[in-house]
Chain A
Amino acid sequence: MAWKRSLVGIVASVALTHGAAAESKPDKVVIGYLNLVNAQLVTKALGLHEKELGVPVEWVRFGSGGDVNRAVAANQLSFGGVGNPPASIGIGRGLPYKGIFALNMLGPVESLVVRESKNINKPEDLVGKTAAAPFGSTTHYLIIAYLRAAGIDPNSVKLLDLAPNDAVAAWLRGDIDAAYVWEPSLNKMVMNGGKILMDSGTMAGRGYPTWDVAVVMDEFAAKYPELVAKFVKSECAAVEFWHKKPDETAALIAKELSLPADDATRMMKGTNVLPCAKQTTSAYLGTSKAKGKFVDTLVSTATFLADQKRLPKVEARMTYEEFIAPKYLETSLGSS
């Protein structure tokens, strides 16, 4: 009998918190952030969310969007960040989150580096070579897209799943001749006999844009919509800081990621951080009424992943449209 009573108790208390929560604030907000260079590091370094949200903020760093997806599935986060491939995967698997803010458009900060001595100058030269990319990431998506666009069967290249730091070790040992990875690992390969064959900015121009978005959990957004708007507001403030004070930004980023200042500056140049007013245009998130190009990217990424048997199927376009939620951006743009 005791367990029944306690079960009733749990149900009752869950119901109560649901009812009462609309006005109250959460005990803390957990933000999962990606280990890459964008204005979110400024938000973190300057403590903008801590000031704006008025609740304790816990920052958790993730090495990849795939890891963020796992944490989201386990309901461990309030906010997170994912690239377009993990976002397509998450949407396809029914993860309860929405994309609310474009963290960055990826440029030369992610590039395909090849060993100079191997005389690799075009996609065809990669056939029979060993290449690395972290599977499930933006660059895994792009290296296959790059090969397929050139009419090459991706299976004719020996593609290995390596995290960027492991790829550096494999590169130095001579185990691999190509890698599509991001900074600062990328630069270590360039410095050791590598040259850039392709970069994510060029791929974006060819119709394969890659980006990272900040996501919010559906449950959190339903309970605390005003906090989500405030989150976006501070992110926008950080973007402004990024564009107005590049030197200070570089210093902050260098400190956050324990990098030399040169690295931070180079990585900033390779990343396109979008001003908030631009994010609601049709090329990006769009507006609540007319969602932008990000939906197309999600659909084509999902189609691509389904072709690779990484996703069981491509969802209806509607599902990807619902994921993109510019309304908090609109609120914050309207109020400022």
Chain B
Amino acid sequence: MTALNQASVEAPAEKPRLAMRVRAEHLLTAATVIGLFALWTLLSRYKLVNPLFLPSPEVVWKSLIEVLTSGYQGQRLHQHMAASLGRIFAGYFSACAVGIPLGLLMGLSTRVKAVFDPIVEFYRPLPPLALYTLLVMWLGIGDTSKIALLFLAALPPLSISAMQAARSIDIGHVRAAQMLGATRMQLFRHVFLPSCLPGICTGMRISLGFTYTVLVASEIVAATAGLGWMIWDASKFLLSDVVIMGLFVLGLTGLALDWAIRQLERLITPWRFV
């Protein structure tokens, strides 16, 4: 009783304190970013590092403007972004379309799991570049092999997390719903989906990260546009300003996509965010 009372007394004070804490955390984040940027500026201003390794922020900024306006090797920055994002979306969403239902089925049926588990578990730890040489031989040097590589990188986290989500459904909830006379459709809509969605969403976020990590590998062979290709090509010519600029753009688009998935998460699983 006392505990309850205490909680109710403290509850009103909770909100502003939370807001303050959030603000303090924002400040810390901002301080980290500004601090790193300041360190970068100082290191290059006083020539403490070889500009070949770490070009100054001004030089990187200039290369951004250069690539935005006149382009890198015939393609402007938005074209490189469009080429990469097009491949990422194609690979990632087709992996979602296949991986999530597959994972759910694997979670619900040990037989389905027995069929697909060895395939996914075998290729999952293979380095993407090793896999890619084979994909190039099978699917050619066009976008198909690139998208296939992104698809293969995106698939395991999706199917594994969906499988875990399906397996961790509380059987008590299912029984309770059945006792209340739920139809199969209702069971799926009101019990199955809500309990699996959080796990699926987490898998989607992890999977996007995986997809991003193989982007450069997928664009090494025979690409003429793309952020990964631009970084790879520039590194051959020791154009480290373009490399760093490309990494920033890649990182920022990654953050934006991750943010978009989190918004989607809030939209489809609102109960987790109240």
Contacts and interface: CB of A to CB of B under 8 A. Distances in A.
B74 interface: yes
B225 to A, nearest CB: 11
Nearest to A73: B52
A161 B223 contact: yes
B186 interface: no
Contact of B238 (A90, A135, A159, A169): A90
B253 interface: no
Contacts of B72: 309
A66 B233 CA distance: 10
A94 B52 contact: yes
Contact-residue size bin, chain B (C-beta under 8 Å from the other chain): 20 to 34
A136 interface: yes
Contacts, number: 65
Interface stretch (B137-145, B171-179, B254-262): B137-145
A70 B237 CA distance: 9
A261 interface: no
A132 B222 contact: yes
A93 B238 contact: yes
Where chain A touches its partner, the secondary structure class is mixed
B73 interface: yes
B141 A160 contact: yes
A166 B222 contact: yes
A160 B52 contact: no
Interface in B214-229: 221-224, 229
Given A73-B52, A93-B52, A136 B141 contact: no
Contact of A173 (B137, B221, B238): B137
Contacts of A312: 239
Contact-residue size bin, chain A (C-beta under 8 Å from the other chain): 20 to 34
B20 to A, nearest CB: 35
B233 A169 contact: no
A169 B211 CA distance: 25
Given A93-B52, A161-B233, A166 B238 contact: no
A170 interface: yes
Contact of B73 (A158, A162, A170, A309): A309
A175 interface: yes
B184 interface: no
A279 interface: no
A319 to B, nearest CB: 15
Nearest to B137: A169
Given A162-B222, A166-B141, A135 B233 contact: yes
A37 B80 CA distance: 37
B133 interface: yes
Interface of A: 66, 69-70, 73, 89-90, 93-95, 132, 135-136, 155, 158-163, 166, 169-170, 173, 175-176, 305, 309-312
7 contacts: A70-B235, A73-B238, A161-B222, A161-B224, A166-B141, A169-B136, A175-B141
Interface of B: 52-53, 72-74, 133, 136-137, 140-142, 221-224, 229, 233, 235-239
Given A70-B235, A161-B221, 17 more contacts: A66-B237, A73-B238, A89-B237, A135-B233, A136-B236, A159-B224, A161-B223, A162-B221, A166-B136, A166-B221, A169-B137, A170-B136, A170-B140, A173-B137, A175-B141, A309-B73, A310-B237
